[in-house]
Amino acid sequence: MTSSLRMLNLCLGFAISCAAQSVHPVGNIFKPQATPAESVYHLSLLVMAVCAAIFLVVAGLLTFTIVRFRRRREDDGHEPAQVYGSNRIEVAWTVIPVLIVLVLTMATARVVIAIQNKRAPTGALQVTVIGHQWWWEIRYEGLRIVTANELHVPVSTASKPALTFLKLESADVAHSFWVPQLSGKTDLIPNRTNTMWIDPRQEGTFLGNCAEYCGMQHANMLLRVVVQSPEDFEKWTAAQRLDATSDSHVEAARAMFLSLSCVNCHTVSGTSASGTFGPDLSHLMSRANLGSGVIPNTSENLRAWVKDPQEIKPGNLMPNMQLNARELDEVVAYLSSLK
């Protein structure tokens, strides 16, 4: 193939893969649904009000000056009187900005400290989130649950507050956890543990994404926080704690899966698959998306993903396993059974 043809092919492939990706609306920061996001929202209103006032004063003075002191026909070309130095004005334009910066700094520090110093009350849900290129590992230490990309938490109400405390770590490079409607951004940094917390007040799915450039598929490192009623959350945790299904219908498919090198990177609880390099697959079908949100978890998409993940999310660390048709059928059948 000539290089121009190859280029055309690449562009076409890119266009097709772009078209195949669904839109991921980012949550509106002006509709906060948890305490940390609300504190940040209120602070941003103050900052914007101060900036708007400064803009109006500066733009107003500028407009006034341009109009009032514009060149007039009756002017005889004389320069206006030149004024040098005015202690009063210089003091004013030094002191006023210093005061404004001081107020904004204090207000920001207050919000940062209030969020950061929050202690986990007894009974708060503790979750560790580990950033990987390019997906999120989610571990509920106390509950013996490991999942990926979709963080389930209980809804917090006035009568029954439910706080989720997150420990944020990274397996490789710096990432940033950001679910705009729930909290500000917090980085996940290698060899360091950061913390944050959320108390979502509304059930539903909140979208977020990695907010720190972390390589080729940074934009496809998407995140979902599924906020559930206490009963639904209880049901979800009970289901996740079970070992992966050992359905006898997929006996042969399971044997095929376990014979392949998939097991070096993925864990399926209750089997010999115990790799930790990629997402835990024990309850894969309980997740709405594949590839950290790049495509919905449908049977066609699952098949396409297993066949060649590089086609769907180029550069991701899962290689094309070059499975033959029979292997592909069996692996997909087995994965589809992992409810």
**How many binding residues for ligand CUA (CB under 6 A)?**
9
Q: Binding to ligand CUA by residue 218, rule CB under 6 A?
A: yes
Helix axes 325-336, 299-307, angle to 10 degrees: 130
Binding range to ligand CUA, per CB under 6 A, among 105-113, 210-218, 226-234, 278-286? 210-218
Q: Which residues contact 175 (CB under 8 A, 6 or more apart)?
A: 131, 187, 188, 210, 212, 214, 221
Binding range to ligand CUA, per CB under 6 A, among 36-44, 140-148, 214-222, 225-233? 214-222
**Cα 149–chain centre separation:** 9
Q: Binding to ligand CUA by residue 323, rule CB under 6 A?
A: no
Q: Binding to ligand CUA by residue 313, rule CB under 6 A?
A: no
Q: Which two tokens stand for residue 273?
A: 């698959």
Rounded to a whole number of angstroms, the minimum distance from the CB of residue 301 to ligand CUA is 22
Query: In what helix (H) or strand (E) does residue 10 lie, and over which residues does it extend?
Result: helix 3-20
Among 130, 198, 210, 262, binds ligand CUA (CB under 6 A): 210
Among 175, 224, 266, 287, binds ligand CUA (CB under 6 A): 175
Indicate the residue among 134 and 206 with the shorter CB distance to ligand CUA: 134
Indicate the residue among 214 and 273 with the shorter CB distance to ligand CUA: 214
Q: Binding to ligand CUA by residue 130, rule CB under 6 A?
A: no
Q: Which two tokens stand for residue 112?
A: 């940062």
Q: Which residues ranging from 91 to 110 are in contact with ligand CUA (CB under 6 A)? A: none
Q: Binding to ligand CUA by residue 214, rule CB under 6 A?
A: yes
Q: What are phi and psi of 61, to 5 degrees?
A: -60, -40
Q: Judge contact between 264 and 277, C-beta under 8 A.
A: yes
Indicate the residue among 107 and 174 with the shorter CB distance to ligand CUA: 174
Q: What are phi and psi of 36, to 5 degrees?
A: -60, -40
Binding range to ligand CUA, per CB under 6 A, among 18-26, 111-119, 209-217, 300-308? 209-217
Q: CA 34 to CA 162: how far, in whole Å?
A: 11
Q: Binding to ligand CUA by residue 184, rule CB under 6 A?
A: no
Q: Judge contact between 129 and 169, C-beta under 8 A.
A: yes
Rounded to a whole number of angstroms, the minimum distance from the CB of residue 32 to ligand CUA is 23
Q: Binding to ligand CUA by residue 212, rule CB under 6 A?
A: yes
Q: Binding to ligand CUA by residue 221, rule CB under 6 A?
A: yes
| Per-position b or e across 91-126, b if 16+ CB within 10 A of its CB | eeeeeeeeeeeeeeeeeeeebeeebeebeeeeebbb
DSSP 220: G
157 φ/ψ sector (left φ>0, alpha ψ -120 to 50, else beta): beta
Indicate the residue among 294 and 331 with the shorter CB distance to ligand CUA: 294
Q: Binding to ligand CUA by residue 139, rule CB under 6 A?
A: no
Binding site for ligand CUA (CB under 6 A): 131, 134, 175, 210, 212-214, 218, 221
